A and B are shown apart, each in its own frame.
Chain A
Amino acid sequence: RKEVEQDPGPFNVPEGATVAFNCTYSNSASQSFFWYRQDCRKEPKLLMSVYSSGNEDGRFTAQLNRASQYISLLIRDSKLSDSATYLCVVNRDNYGQNFVFGPGTRLSVLP
């Protein structure tokens, strides 16, 4: 089993749609979780951290289920500018900043 797995995608959705991405991780000791977005051939950029209680930032909502080792990202009212690849990132252990990246899910928002 891979350390971090994501929906394979791509997701093609119309503007205004709600889209959800799923991510599972294998290491039950993982403590920190993030969603990054990456535009084509550019550097990944932090979208949001994922907290135990779930958190929201505008149109974006992240949820964490430790028991199922599952993270989700919900995008409401999607915009053309949301088109990107979304990366799930999990820390590997309790030491340092050793992160593992999921393969990413590509989103295309269509006019």
Chain B
Amino acid sequence: EAQVTQNPRYLITVTGKKLTVTCSQNMNHEYMSWYRQDPGLGLRQIYYSMNVEVTDKGDVPEGYKVSRKEKRNFPLILESPSPNQTSLYFCASSLTPLRGRYSPLHFGNGTRLTVT
């Protein structure tokens, strides 16, 4: 089954304790991205990757890191989590479009992170 898999689904941690949220897709998609969703603010892009070893900042990258060593995986790293990073996180992937057309995003089922 074609899917984007995030782990864990739920995570409670304490301020300053490094954590990684994993994301993997089995659709051979070039493009992957991370979003956070907060009440009243909607979905905001954290980082995205156009392909292996190519990553770039989104709208809210502060406090996050990513890596893209393999095409299928795009982990999100919080080196020193803080309470303002408590949020619902989504990973998404898509094909890279050809000839100016764009491909819709496929989302993972989310990671609810609480930082105390």
Question: What residues make up the interface of A, taking CB atoms closer than 8 Å to B?
Answer: 31-32, 34, 41-46, 49, 87, 89, 91, 94, 96-104
Contact = CB atoms under 8 A, between A and B. Distances in A.
Contacts of B41: 103
B42 A99 contact: no
Given A97-B33, A99-B45, A42 B50 contact: no
A47 to B, nearest CB: 10
Contacts of A42: 109-110
B49 to A, nearest CB: 10
B11 interface: no
Nearest to A47: B104
B110 A41 contact: yes
B48 A102 contact: no
Contacts, number: 58
Interface of B: 31, 33, 35, 40-45, 48, 50, 58, 88, 90, 94, 96-97, 100-110, 112
Contact of A44 (B50, B100, B107): B107
Nearest to B91: A43
A99 B110 contact: no
Interface hub of B33, B41, B44, B107 (most chain A Cβ within 10 A): B107
B30 to A, nearest CB: 9
Nearest to B58: A98
Contacts of B48: 96-98
A91 B40 contact: no
A102 B105 contact: no
A94 to B, nearest CB: 7
B3 to A, nearest CB: 11
A4 to B, nearest CB: 9
